[in-house]
Each structure stands twice: as structure tokens, then as C-alpha cells.
Amino acid sequence: MIGFDLFAILQLINTNLMNYGLTFQRILVAIFLIAAVFNSTSLLAQNQARIVGDFADPSVISANGKYYAVGTSSEWAPHLPIYTSTNLLEWKQVGFVFEKTPDWIASSFWAPEYFYQDGTYYVYYSAKRKSDGVSCIGVATSKFPDRGFVDQGIVVDYGTESIDAFVVRDGKDLYMTWKAYGLDKRPIELLGSKLSADGLKLEGEPFSILQDTAKIGIEGQSFIKKDGYYYMFYSAGACCGPGCDYHVQAVRSKTIRGPYEDVGESVLLGSNERWKCMGHGTFVTDKKGDYYYLFHGYSQNGTVFTGRQGLLAKLEWSDQDKPVFDFIKNEDKDSESSFRLDFRKIKRNEVFGQWDFRNSIPNFQVNTTGLLLSPAQIKGNEVGSVLTWRPANKKYAISAKLDLIHSDKDLMKGIVIYGDKDRAIGLAAQGNQLIVWQVNGEEWKVLSSQEIQGDTKAIELRLQTEADLSCKALFKVQNGTWTNIEIKDSSSFNLKELAPWDRSPRPGLQVKGGPNEKAVFTELSLDY
């Protein structure tokens, strides 16, 4: 808070300006300038140095006077979300690397990494190959940092697993580095290899950079060069889930090939009162030339139910020339992440919803009627098709307005909190019934149902989660009040078992039925 009276200051300025014979217009200009200063101060105080919601393994690049970040999408499509910022503090989504899944990929879009050279932007990424389920490193290229990426296929195919690409430039030469042997009995290693000048294939034999002799798990390496040394920052420990102990360490060497020596504290980033299991990031310089590290961490409050969120720290150096991170404070501003979509007034590419591309693909379009959502038929999927959004907190309310007149009556349609095809809860309208349902494993179960009045033209549905992970189902007709739906056995209607190991469950829209049937949603909101 600012400790003085703005009104009194304006009065004083007004008196002095009039004494000097200044015009009313100039007085107004002065007032607006002062107001702008105060407003800027207020805005700065509200900045969030994070990308809210599940945004793991972020990579960041500076281009065209802006910053761009890309993150893991795992089993969600479209793949690899892209965000942009002008100050590294406030971020907004602008697109995805892939709207369509490349033909060679089965699952697991992890750890994308930006690189730029000679007018081309590269995004290296990890994914599992269809033919054998092995994780490889692919690359997509574009003339722009936020759109137009075209897949160029596999760059690294090495052993049973190749993930976490990072490109290092050494003079005129490029080197690809990656994590290997994560699925073998032998210790994990961070490997390197000469990379072709066009960045599309390896050249020469791989070499060892760092071996995980302690067998704690190492990955997510990134490099900067300072005073003749290559500093490699990497993550160690378990990345994901309630038992994670992820943290950032650093080593350095005079050459890319090593040998590397420990430098700085054993844990440079780990946990604090607000965040835990920090790691896997990359660096970018601001306009002053200062280095900032964009990485991920779990909220101490939301943990796996909000996923690994994008965080920021400034890189400093101690008197002993050792790296130190100045963590940029991340305020509890989840309420500012609330959003409302009027599907009748936006374009399809502004929806930014995602779906489980292996099991729960929706068909949708947006027009002046609303969002028209139809299911895709996938064998063995009891949930149906979903369109979801990333939550900023474990406590939220998702609400959706459903147009019953223009929706197919027999289609199941409503809202969902979706972990995967075997773990989901929801509230749906079907026929003249409201249905509270749950999927656990291969079992689809009705927990509660009640009749919808025959003349109801539109209905609003809500799922409301609480701090203890319990969930309520509510509905509202026209301009009425919210009505809670009683669930006799409510013990299983919660988030507790919904989180997959590497990502958060997500709220969204759901349909289940024939592919030629449709539901029409006019509005959606996510409130914290």
C-alpha cells in the first residue's frame, strides 16, 4: 500500500499549477500522468511470475522484443502449448506447436526445447514412437516462434530412452545433449553428440557428459557459458507425484565434453514455503543482459491436482563465483486466473481447450450458436469425449451453460473433471435426466439422478471442488439459484484418485454417444 493521500497530492498540484497560470487541459494531463504512475505501481504489485496450471519442463526464448515459452503437454492435444510475455512475469497463451499429432508418435509429448539459428526456430521434443514405444527426440521448425511449426521427424534415437534435448553452441559447432538409460538397469547418463549444421541429425558418436553414479535420477539439463566455463544446470531426484524430491544442481567444465566439477550449493532450487520439487528449466536474458531461469514446481497447496507450474528465478553469482538463484516471489493470485468464455463471440483458435488424444478425442466447432461438441467413438472408453482446461488451483468451480433446444436430447452432455479414460467424475444431462456419474477403472457408475423439467430450454451445470478434494454437483435453470444435487454415496465423488503420475486432472466439457450427435454449449467459466 502507498502511504500517502493521493487526493491531497492532486489538490496541491492543482493549486501550484494554477499559480503558474497553467491551463485546465494541462492540469488534466498532469493528473492522468500521476494516475498512470500509481496504476503502474499497482499492476506491478499484482504481477505473477509464473505460468499457472500444468506447464512442466518449460523452455523460453527471446524473439521480436518478446519472450516465448513452450511446455510439456504429455497426453493432451493439441500438443506443446506456447505462451508469450513482454516482461517474463505476465503470460498469455498464443497457440500450440502441433494442432495435429505427427504420424510417428504414440504418446508422451515431453520436455520441448527452443533453439534459434539463421532465421529458423526449432522446437526439440520427446515423444514415444508408435512402432516400439521407445522415447525419441524429434524436432519441428518454423520461421516464427509461436506458430507454423512443421515436424521434421526424429533426431535422436538412442537405446531404450532418449529425452530432454538441449542444444549447445561451441563456436561454429552445435551439440545435442540428452538423457539416456532412464529405463535401463545401468545408471542414467547425460549424453552429447555433434549436431549437424541444419540441426536435424546427429553426427559422430555420443559421449558421456555426466553419469548418475548415486542413482538418484538426473535430467533436464541446460547450459550457459561464463568466464570460459560451460555451466550445466540439471535436475535430480523424482520429478513427479506426491513423493517427488526434484531439485536443481550445477556442474561446470572448460569444454562441452568435460570433465565436469560440482559448483555452488548442492541444491540451488528445491522447495520453499509456497512451492516444492522445483526443476527442469532453461535460461533467457532480459534487455539488461541478466539471466532468468524458467522452470517448474508444484504448489505446496495444489500439488498434483494443479500440476507442475511455470516459475521464474534470477541467476546471480556469489563472491566465490558460484551460481545462486533469486527466486521471484509468486503471490497467491489464483483468483486472477479465473476466466469466462462466451463461445458465441470467440473463434475456434481462441478456445485453447485440450483433450486426451489417445482416448477421448472430441469433434468441435464454434459459431454464433455456441460451441458444438460431438463425441468420437473410441473403443473401451467409458468417459466419452472431453474438452478440458488447466486448473490454477485444486479448489475451483467449473460452470457451463447448455442449450437444450439445439442439443441432441439422447446424447449425454455436460461437465467433467478428467484424469484419464479410467478416472473421471462428471455431471451431465441426458434425455430428461440430470446424472452425476463416475468412471473408476472400466466401471461407469451413476451416483445420483433427477428429472429436468420438460419445458427447460437451457440449463447451467457446475462442479465445485473444495480444499479437502471433495466435489459438489449443482445446476441452475434460467435466472434461478444454484441447486445442490444430493449424492447418497459422495465419498467417491472427489479428486483424490484422479491425478495421473505426471499431470493434473482437468475440468472441462464432456459428451458421450453417437458421432453424429452434438451438444451446444454457450458459455463456460472457471472460477477460483
What's the fold here for domain 336-527?
Jelly Rolls (2.60.120)
Q: Do the beta carbons of residue 509 and residue 360 sit within 8 Å? A: no
The whole-angstrom separation of Cα 35 and Cα 41 is: 10
Grid cell in block for residue 498: 484422479
* Res 47: pLDDT: 46
DSSP state of 470: B
Comparing CA positions, the residue from 212, 232, 207 lying closest to residue 222 is 232
At 443 the three-state DSSP class reads strand
The whole-angstrom separation of Cα 255 and Cα 208 is: 12
* Res 330: pLDDT: 74
Q: Has residue 243 got a pLDDT over 80?
A: yes
Q: Has residue 291 got a pLDDT over 90?
A: yes
Q: Has residue 475 got a pLDDT over 90?
A: yes
* Res 489: pLDDT: 86
Among 16-25, 372-381, 425-434, 515-524, name the one with the lowest average pLDDT: 16-25
Render pLDDT for 52-74 as a digit per residue (tens, 0 to 9): 999 999 999 999 999 999 999 99
Average pLDDT over residues 163-168: 98
Task: Give the number of C-alpha atoms closer than 13 A to the C-alpha of residue 444, restricted to the C-beta side.
Answer: 10
Q: What percent of the chain has pLDDT over 90?
A: 85
Q: Has residue 363 got a pLDDT over 90?
A: yes
Q: What percent of the chain has pLDDT over 70?
A: 91
The whole-angstrom separation of Cα 173 and Cα 155 is: 17
Among 10-14, 191-195, 449-453, 507-511, name the one with the lowest average pLDDT: 10-14
Render pLDDT for 9-26 as a digit per residue (tens, 0 to 9): 334 434 443 344 444 444
> DSSP assignment of 69-91, as one string?
EE---BTEESEEEEEEESSSSS-
**pTM of the model as a whole:** 0.90
Q: Do the beta carbons of residue 253 and residue 261 sit within 8 Å? A: yes
Q: Which of the following CATH numbers is that of domain 50-332: 3.90.1330.10, 3.30.1380.10, 2.115.10.20, 3.30.565.10?
A: 2.115.10.20
- pLDDT averaged over every residue in the chain: 91
pLDDT confidence bin for 454, thresholds 50/70/90: confident
SS percent in the chain: helix, strand, coil, step 5? 10, 50, 40
Average pLDDT over residues 236-262: 97
Q: Has residue 5 got a pLDDT over 90?
A: no
Q: Has residue 491 got a pLDDT over 70?
A: yes
Please state, in angstroms and as integers, the Cα–Cα distance from residue 108 to each residue in 130, 333, 336, 382, 419, following that order: 11, 30, 30, 22, 15
3-12, 216-225, 327-336, range with greatest mean pLDDT: 216-225
Render pLDDT for 123-162 as a digit per residue (tens, 0 to 9): 999 999 999 999 999 999 999 999 999 999 999 999 999 9
Average pLDDT over residues 214-237: 97
pLDDT confidence bin for 48, thresholds 50/70/90: low
